[in-house]
Amino acid sequence: MHCKPPFTPAERERLTAAVASFPRFCILVAGDLMLDNFIWGEVSRISPEAPVPVVEVTEEVPLLGGAANVVNNIVHLGGRVAVTGSIGSDPAGVELRRLLEQRFIQTDGLVTEDGRPTTVKTRVIAHSQQVVRFDRELSVPLSGAASEQMLRYVRERLPHSHAVIVSDYAKGVVTRVFMDALRSLVAGRGIPVIVDPKVQHREIYRGVTMITPNHHEASRMTGIPIHRDNGSLDEAGRRLLDDLQCETVLITRGKHGMSLFSRGKPRTDIPTVARRVFDVTGAGDTVIATLSLGIASGLSAFEAARLANIAAGIVVGEVGTAAASSEQLQAALADC
């Protein structure tokens, strides 16, 4: 195991130059698009009908969620993006499309399937604390026609893309058929495929460039309980590398930072830089967006992971689905 100390001036300069170069690179994002609805309010009493708080609503804010939040992060970081996924022919789908277009993100890769709702996650927050979350979704696999429409978009955009992100929230978009076709499309192109995985889809990620599970997901994907000891973490990371035949595995570990596993190298731990943690919502989206732009810009997996760790430290200090900007990332780098 190797734990990297703070940045040297040369390392900081290299990462700073990489962030400045992000506008040159386009990331293709495929996955489960969502609308994150935040209801903000205050609690001053308990309901007389049941022992639950009464939230007096003060504001309701729709935000991009799931794979759409990955897209949002890429744009905030200065990168270019192409996106494909499924939305419903419903008001939530109209709103999700509007939010993307508001950020000047092209929506021609969005697929509308009749009878399938847009995934919506609604969070009620009072006094900076999440009170409850309720979801509207349908998690059955996309139809063959809808999946093929997505793959046609991928074929069109790959020649203009520098990396592919698969943002899998297990809502039916990322299937074995889709992943098999994606692997065939990127074969021989030298384009990295980076996956934010779901446990139940473990086998379909075989052969991708990198996966980014959190420590709970890594434990469930390998059947190895990950404790505070280095041995269980090492065993889980190495098993994922071997079983999935990917080049690198980045396990995010919350307040303990990240651990990077690469073939033929010792595990590298990256301590967290977060000074405060208000909300981890969307932090994984920030990590994979920053990772992909970093790798596209020529950084090594380790360098890109250190950059992603800094970006994650920015967004967990904010409540709600947040995104780190290139300016924030540059400022945070200067302080490291």
The whole-number average pLDDT for the span 209-238 is 91
Residue 129: inside a domain? no
Please report the pLDDT score of residue 3 as a whole number: 47
The answer to whether 96 and 67 have CB atoms below 8 angstroms apart is no
Residue 319: inside a domain? yes
d(CA 182, CA 171): 18
Residue 192: inside a domain? yes
Residue 160: inside a domain? yes
Q: Choose between 275 and 241: higher pLDDT.
A: 241
Residue 219: inside a domain? yes
pTM of the entire predicted model: 0.92
φ/ψ bin of 95: left (φ > 0), alpha (ψ from -120 to 50), beta (otherwise): alpha
Where residue 124 falls among pLDDT bands split at 50, 70, 90?
very high
Q: Choose between 331 and 230: higher pLDDT.
A: 331
Please report the pLDDT score of residue 277 as a whole number: 44
- Residue appearing with tokens 């380790």: 302
Instruction: Provide the residue range defining the domain that includes 223.
Output: 2-35+63-119+138-335
User: Does 280 have pLDDT greater than 80?
Assistant: no
What pLDDT, in 10s, does the model give residues 295-320? 999 999 999 999 999 998 888 756 55
Instruction: Report the relative pairing of strands 119-126 and 110-112 from DSSP bridges.
Output: unpaired
User: Does 240 have pLDDT greater than 80?
Assistant: yes
What CATH number did the domain enclosing 167 receive?
3.40.1190.20
What pLDDT, in 10s, does the model give residues 70-119? 999 999 999 999 999 999 999 999 999 999 999 999 999 999 988 899 99
Please report the pLDDT score of residue 5 as a whole number: 53
Residue 54: inside a domain? no
What pLDDT, in 10s, does the model give residues 283-293? 889 999 999 99
Q: What is the mean pLDDT of the chain?
A: 91
Where residue 323 falls among pLDDT bands split at 50, 70, 90?
confident
Q: Among the options 229, 279, 285, 335, which is catalytic?
A: 285
Instruction: Report the relative pairing of strands 110-112 and 210-211 from DSSP bridges.
Output: unpaired
In the numeric block, which tokens belong to residue 316? 């967990």
Residue 273: inside a domain? yes
Please report the pLDDT score of residue 7 as a whole number: 81
The answer to whether 210 and 291 have CB atoms below 8 angstroms apart is yes
Q: Supply the DSSP string of 106-157, one letter for each residue.
A: --TTEEE-TT-PPEEEEEEEETTEEEEEEEE---SPPPHHHHHHHHHHHHHH
Tell me, yes or no, if 285 is annotated catalytic. Answer: yes
Residue 131: inside a domain? no
User: Does 231 have pLDDT greater than 50?
Assistant: yes
Q: Percent of the chain at pLDDT above 90?
A: 76
**φ and ψ at residue 122, rounded to 5 degrees:** -110, 125
The total of structural domains in the chain comes to: 1
Q: Residue 99's closest CA among 168, 38, 171?
A: 38
User: Does 274 have pLDDT greater than 60?
Assistant: no
